Amino acid sequence: MTKEGKAGAVVPAMGTPGDPMGIAMDEARAAAARGEVPVGAVLLGPDGAVLARAGNAVEAGHDAAAHAEMLVMRAAARRLGTPRLVDCTLVVTLEPCPMCAAAAVHFRIGRIVFGAYDPKGGGVDHGPRLFDRRECLHRPEWVGGVREREASALLRDFFAARRGP
């Protein structure tokens, strides 16, 4: 699969009122305000309705697995009463790490849309590229780079402020 995902992949309408990436960006900003790494995610149902939204909660929960993606996938599964999120879309501000990408495989996420690429910690277009592996159980469609500059700026500004002048 390419950075653009499969040909004909359904990508939620971005840049419109209530757009999913805008919601994810709001969650990322809220996470930063709580002292969390600014990553936000939204899980959309097959009809495009928001099933769950969250920002990182690693520090607050003392839980290294409390990435925004994990939180929305778990919440949506509980809401739908099934561990399989077939035809659902995960929208996240940062390329999912290997843990979150692997969880998306097991949740059977239909598609992933992300903002900033993560050359150091990504698991979709970087690192292990889980969906390209022959032994991958399920391969969601994916597209990266959606509002990439804005998502990258959130992360860059957060870490610059933490390092100080």
Catalytic machinery residues: 69
Integer-rounded Cα radius of gyration of the chain:
15
Q: Is 67 annotated as a binding residue?
A: yes
Report d(CA 111, CA 140) in Å as an integer.
5
- Residue 133 is classified by DSSP as S
Angstrom distance (rounded) from CA 161 to CA 138 = 39
Task: Confirm whether residue 62 is marked as ligand binding.
Answer: no
Which residue in 106, 94, 85 sits closest to 67, CA to CA? 94
Residue showing tokens 């610059």: 160
From residue 62, alpha-carbon distances to 57, 66, 109, 149 in Å are: 8, 8, 26, 30
Kindly give the residue spans of alpha helices, DSSP state H, lying in the chain: 20-33, 58-61, 68-80, 98-107, 148-163
138 marked as binding residue: no
Asked if residues 85 and 43 have their Cβ atoms less than 8 Å apart, the reply is yes
| Residues placed in the known binding site for Zn(2+) | 67, 97, 100
| Residues placed in the known binding site | 67, 97, 100
